[in-house]
Amino acid sequence: MMQQETAPVPALSKKTKQPKECFLIKPKETSEDATKTRKRRKKKITDVLAKSEPKPGTPEDLQKLMKDYFSSNRSVIELEELNLPDSCFLKANDLTHSLSSYLKEICPKWVKLRKNHSEKKSVLMLIICGSAIRALELIRSMTAFRGDSKVMKLFAKHIKVQEQVKLLEKRVVHLGVGTPGRIKELIKQGGLNLNPLKFLVFDWNWRDQKLRRMMDIPEIRKEVFELLEMGVFSLCKSESLKLGLF
């Protein structure tokens, strides 16, 4: 009788362990499934962006982003004052141009303009992009346009701001290509004067590996608008400075 009573006990303990094992396995499966689902969703969003037809940036896009950015700390009247006149915008890139062909179109008299430029601590044209690597790509791609123009890299990677200030003080530079953060810093330190600036071009349409444009990145967008407040708005309204979206 004792053997018959004890015999089913291990069988029952095995049965009770089975649901416990299932219970422990299920959360792992659901968490993995949830992660896979999230990954799948991200891939789908990326696929949509990759397959969608790219739309070139327009002056209206810039104006809208400015309103969205400044709306939290500006009055209605102040926001209206931020509106830039249509006359300050150059023809935007329709995605058919290389950088050189675009610059030739918006500035056909560049050779004459750069020959007449002799002011140090300034540039005639600034091209703003999102990273140092992209700046180097842009410099290489504008060979046909720049000719004998003096070009300066205006980004932080491997270059100290004090070194750039000294170079701007010593040389006459026609073209500057760089990031908004470093350009801002050069202006703050008195190394770069924007008054002689004639063209400000945004590397607007290019997308990085994550398919983000320059203005899609919050940190870059913030620095761009802070830069615009450092004299760009007033130069645009006086019509001495033109803006281009490449």
Which residues lie across from 76 on neighbouring strands? none
Q: What is the mean pLDDT of residues 201-220?
A: 95
User: Which of the residue ranges 15-19, 47-51, 186-190 has the most confident prediction, judged by mean pLDDT?
Assistant: 186-190
Superfamily for the 52-245 domain? P-loop containing nucleotide triphosphate hydrolases (3.40.50.300)
Q: CA separation (Å) from 238 to 113, 121, 233, 242?
A: 19, 21, 9, 10
Dihedral, CA of residue 234, residue 235, residue 237 and residue 241, to nearest 10: -160
Does 212 score more than 70 pLDDT?
yes
How confident is the model over 128-156, as pLDDT tens digits? 999 999 999 999 999 999 989 999 999 99
Q: What is the mean pLDDT of residues 152-174?
A: 93
CB atoms within 10 A of CB 45: 11
Q: What is the mean pLDDT of the chain?
A: 85
How confident is the model over 65-108, as pLDDT tens digits? 998 999 888 888 888 888 888 999 999 999 999 999 999 999 99
Per-residue pLDDT band for 14 (boundaries 50, 70, 90) equals very low
Tokens of 128: 């703003």
Q: What is the pTM of this model?
A: 0.77
Asked if residue 116 lies in contact with residue 158, where contact means CB atoms within 8 angstroms, the answer is no
Q: What is the mean pLDDT of residues 168-184?
A: 96
Q: What is the pLDDT of residue 184?
A: 96
SS3 content of the chain, % helix, strand, coil (to 5): 55, 10, 35
Domain ranges of the chain: 52-245
H or E segment to which residue 51 belongs: helix 8-51
- Give 42's contacts (C-beta < 8 A, 6+ positions apart): none
Tokens of 105: 């179109």
